[in-house]
Amino acid sequence: MSIPTTSGRLLLVDAHALAYRSFYGIRNLKSAGGMPTNAIYGFIKALDRMRAALSPTHWMVIWDGGLAAERLAALPEYKAQRPPMPDDLRQQLDGINEYLDAAGIVHHCEAGEEADDRIATVTRLAGEAGLAVVIASPDKDFLQLVADQVGVWSPNDKSGVVWGREQVVHKTGVPPEQIVDWLSLVGDAVDNIPGVPGVGPKTAAELLCQYGKLEALYATGGGAFPDKLRASLSSSRELVFRNRQLVRLNQDLPGEVDWRKCMVHPPDTEALQRLFERWDFKSMSGPPKPLQATQAELFSG
């Protein structure tokens, strides 16, 4: 997908997703003092690759600040199955933020606020400011935001393609505007959200292609469905509409964005050199190098 720009292109990075991917993708990397640095190294290299591939004029890194209270109220088990963050990763988060500060990259974290919702809100604000948006994340929840000026770039997609409407339909069977209802039927094991028993991605897509929205689907009474499917949908009605509340991203969080601060500009090279020396990143020390990072270079051990 080629996203045209008006006032520029904003790259929004799902920080926790990238930190975890970097941590598990690179093993046994430590400074001379024994501090783990694998997540920091991978995060930096991934940002370099994103900038080289996507040519943003603006960028922002957004961290999770906790779980949204309204989602926990609707489903106390929401994301409860996730294990705690590994200590070796947690102790690298401050270092990643030190790098972002030295590189001049705006980063955001708000207590009790999920990164997904802040990314959705910033995406809306960027559109109002005339900026095209690329969201860097493997999270399929972001597919609901895809539009003419909004795409999703996943590090799991080796093609390097920015997903637009065509890619969303090819992957899920439904367009972006139906992703929320599709996820409501299918559920999301990653977030501990159960779906309708017996309704997988393909069946959910077929139902929505036929009926359009959940309201229309349930208005039929299921008379045309096989008995097992009709019974499953009927018994799961409350779950499905609750799921819709859980999976729909909040685009109306409070706050504004200073787009001038988000512009890509030269980093504080002296501050970066001090960090690279502290972490023993010898390949990053010295004069700045061209921004070119291959997939193998990003996550090789």
In sequence order, which residues have a C-beta less than 8 Å from that of residue 94 and are 6 or more positions away?
none
Q: Which two tokens stand for residue 69?
A: 């209270």
CB 113 within 8 Å of CB 65: yes
Question: From start to end of 125-271, where are the E strands?
Answer: 131-136, 150-153
Q: Judge whether residue 295 has pLDDT over 70.
A: no
Does residue 131 sit in helix, strand or coil?
Answer: strand
Residue 235 to residue 233: CA distance in whole angstroms? 6
| Burial (CB count within 10 angstroms: exposed 0-12, middle 13-18, buried 19+), residue 256 | exposed
Beta pairing partners, 58:
10, 263
Report the C-alpha gap between 113 and 119 in whole angstroms.
11
Look up residue 145 and give its two tokens: 């935001």
The model scores a pTM over 0.75: yes
Nearest to 62 by CA among 17, 94, 104: 17
- Does pLDDT of 296 surpass 50? no
- Note the pLDDT of residue 222: 63
Per residue in 12-68, pLDDT tens?
999 999 999 999 999 889 999 999 999 999 999 999 999 999 999 999 999 999 999
pLDDT for 208-217, tens place per residue? 999 999 999 9
Local structure of 28: helix, strand or coil? coil
